[in-house]
Amino acid sequence: MHSGSSLSEIVRGELSVRAESAASEFDELLREYDQACRWLATDLPEDLRATLVKERDLRAGRIIACLITWRALGGSIQFSPAGISKSHGLSLVSEVLPVSGETEETAERPPPQEAPPAFEPAVPTAAAPDAPKERVPVARPVVSTSPTRTPWEEQLLELLPDLVPSSADQDEFDRLDALFKRRDDWKESEWPRSALIALLSYLTCRACAIQDRHPNIRGMTGMFQVLGGFRKSMGFDNIHGLARNHEPKSDSWTQDANKHLEDLLSCLRTGAINHGVFRAAVSERKAVWKQTDRRLPEAEIKLDRLRIVIRAAVAGGLTNNTQFVNLVAELEPQLGGPVFRTLRQKIRETQAQRAPAEEELEDDGPTDELERLFADWSHLPHTRGKRAVIFGGTPIRQAQDRIKRAFGFAELEWKDGEFKNGIIENVRATVASGTVDIVLMLRRIVGHNSTKIVDACKDTGTPFVFVDGSCSVTRVKLGIERYLT
C-alpha cells in the first residue's frame, strides 16, 4: 500500500490528513460559536436565551476537544488578548510556535513561509547523524473572527440576527447605524449586485420608517448621506427612499422593507445554519402566536423577526426537516409569497399524512343525533336557506352533503383551495358578485391569501367564518358560533 515510502513519509501523510480534518472541524465550530453569540447579543426572551446558551456552551466544549486533538497531533496553541472578538472573546495567535519537548529523531527547521498552513503537525524527519537536535516550529490553527474576504453567503447568515428591527425608535436608529458601519465588509466580501442592492434597499426603508415617525431625530440626515455615498461608490442606480420626495411603494415603509428583505434572502442558496437556534426561535414565536386573538385574522401581528428566521431556515434546507415543518405549520397563514411556496407545500403534505380524508367526517354522529343537536340552535338563521361556499382543501362530497343538510343551506359549493392558479380571485369574485350569503374557510389550508377573500366579504357585508381543524359538521358549528356571535 505504501511501497516505496519511508516510515516518516507514511506518518507525515497520515498526520497531514488528520490535521486537515481537525482544521476544518475547528473552523466550523468556531463559526457556529460566533453565530450563537451574535444571537445572544440581541433582545431575546429568557427561555430562548437559555437554549442558545446551551448551544453556545456545547460548541465551546467541542472546540476545546478539537484543540486537545490538535495538541495531540504535535501542534502548539497559545492564547493572546490581542484581537479578541467582542462576540466570543476567543483569539488564537498566528505566530509560529515551538513544540515542547524533543523528538527522538533529529529535525531540520523548514524554510520560512510567507503564510504558514492552518495546521501543520510536527513530524520527525530524517537528518544527518551528526545534525543537532532542534525543536520543530509548528504553525497554530490560524483563526480570524472577521476574515478579510468572508464568502458573502456566510456573512449574510452571520448578519441575520443584526437585521432584526427594534420596536424602540432610538434603538432601531442605533442598530441601523451599527449596520452601516460594516459596509466596507460587504464590499470586500464581493456580494452579488442583486443581494447588495436588496440589503441597501432594506436598510433604507427601515431608515425612512424611523424618519416618518420622528422627522427631526438627530443623526438621520447623516445616515441618509452615508447611504447615498455608499450607493454612489458601488455604482448602483437610484435606491428608492433616498430622495426626499420618495413615498413608500406599498402601504408603508415597513412593508417595503419586508419585501426587500425577502429579495435579499432569496439570493441565499444554502448555508450552514444552526438548526437548534432556529427551532428554538420559531417555537418561541409560535407560543406568542397561540396567545393572539385568532378571531381577528386581519389583526396586525408583528412577525418581522419570525419571517427572517423562517426564511433563513428555508434557505438552509430545513423544509425537509419534519420537526421544523411541524413547528411552523400553525403559522402558515402568515407565510405568503413565492419564497415560502415549498414550505407551504411541505406543511400541507405533512398535515395530509396526519389527517387523511376519511377523518374529515369526525364525530358528527348519526343523522338523528344531528337533528337533536340543531333543534334549538340559535344560529340557524345564519345558515337555513342561505347560499354558502367552502374554501380550502380538496372537496369531499360526503362531508359537503352532511354539512348542507345539517345547517339547512339552500346551496353549498366547495371550492378547491390547493393554491391553483386563479382560485383566490375566483372566490373573491364570487363573493363580490353578491351571490353568496356566507363564506366558510378552512384555516389550516387557505393560507395568507385568505385576506383577499376577507376583504371582499367586508366590502359586501358577507359573513365569513374560519373553521379550525377538519371540515366536519361539529367544526363548522363551532366556527359559526365563534365568528357570528
Same domain, 251 and 325: no
Q: pLDDT at position 161, please? A: 64
Same domain, 366 and 409: yes
Same domain, 125 and 22: yes
Task: Flag residues of the chain having pLDDT under 70.
Answer: 1-26, 43-45, 47-48, 65-151, 153-154, 157-158, 161-162, 164, 166-167, 188-189, 266-309, 312, 315-318, 323, 327, 330-331, 333-334, 351-375, 417-422, 444-449
Q: What is the CATH number of the domain that holds 379?
A: 3.40.50.10700
Is the pTM value of this prediction over 0.75?
no
Same domain, 19 and 73: yes
Burial of 51 (0-12, 13-18, 19+ CB in 10 A): buried
Axis crossing angle, helix 46-72 with helix 7-40, rounded to the nearest 10: 160
Cell numbers 356566507 correspond to 438
Same domain, 385 and 472: yes
Q: pLDDT at position 146, please? A: 33
Q: pLDDT at position 354, please? A: 54
Beta bridge partners of 389: 413, 439
Same domain, 49 and 95: yes
Q: pLDDT at position 167, please? A: 67
Does 408 map to a domain? yes
CA distance 283 to 356: 26
Same domain, 135 and 159: no
Same domain, 322 and 436: no
Residues 263-279 have pLDDT tens digits of 777 665 433 344 444 44
Cell numbers 422627522 correspond to 215
Q: pLDDT at position 159, please? A: 73
CA distance 399 to 401: 5
Provide the residue range defining the domain that includes 174. Answer: 152-266
Does 88 map to a domain? yes
Q: What are phi and psi of 137, to 5 degrees?
A: -70, 135
Give, rounded to a whole angstrom, the gap between the first and last alpha carbons of the chain.
82
